[in-house]
Amino acid sequence: MFIDLSTLSPNRVYFTLIQTIIPRPIAWVLSDNGTGAAQRYNLAPFSYFNAVCSDPPLLMVSIGKKPDGSIKDTRRNILERGKFVVHIAHSGQVDAVNASSADLPAGTSELDALGLETVAFGDFPLPRLRDARVAFACERYQVMEVGEQAIVFGLVRSAYIDDSIAVADAQGRLQIDALGLDPLSRLGGDQYGVLGQVVTRRRPR
Ligand SMILES: Cc1cc2nc3c(=O)[nH]c(=O)nc-3n(C[C@H](O)[C@H](O)[C@H](O)COP(=O)(O)O)c2cc1C
């Protein structure tokens, strides 16, 4: 099958891309809506997400608009306050990740609705989810508007890695146990993926 994407509607292009570029990592993003109240923390998943640079350490998340055309809460919070936390969810958190994508009214916290606990993240002003095995404390680095999307580049200031999945190798480099991290990923439609098998190959010199 040959598909000329210029003949497809944006919706069809979307479905073609998200069902073929798989699995996609999921950024489970905590941001601050600035109310200073108990409902101040917003949480939502984004699978247009990846690491893009290590010097400086940057990741990117591409955030669209709500069906009514308004800006998604995470996007607005990052634009207005600049700080956010990206978590890597494990497979046991699939229901919470999925539920946190519900379009709640701005100012209503997914954390409360889902009963998720947070803990302090060093001296970063935002907390991290207690039960996520990896979290990144990020600052807005640059935002590029592309079509309806805002591609947010986040500068990773610090990382939390659960001790149970991290060991140092003989050279003192951090080794993360991929199966222990057990990252949830996004497939097409309503599907999620979990790691099945890890295969190892040394890169040729
Ligand atoms: C697994 C998953 C991945 C998603 N990835 C994206 C994405 O990459 N970009 C996006 O704009 N929305 C994405 N969404 C939809 C948002 O999570 C959803 O619009 C959410 O309500 C946004 O929340 P907010 O308004 O609190 O920021 C995804 C949803 C799910 C379930």
CA of 48 to the centre of ligand 1 (A): 9
Does the C-beta of 63 come closer than 6 Å to ligand 1?
Answer: yes
CA of 108 to the centre of ligand 1 (A): 16
d(CA 174, CA 183): 18
Does the C-beta of 127 come closer than 6 Å to ligand 1?
Answer: no
Does the C-beta of 186 come closer than 6 Å to ligand 1?
Answer: yes
Does the C-beta of 74 come closer than 6 Å to ligand 1?
Answer: yes
Q: What is the pLDDT of residue 104?
A: 79
What is the reported pTM?
Answer: 0.96
- pLDDT digit string, tens, across residues 169-201: 889 899 999 999 999 999 999 999 999 999 999
- pLDDT digit string, tens, across residues 4-41: 999 999 999 999 999 999 999 999 999 999 887 778 89
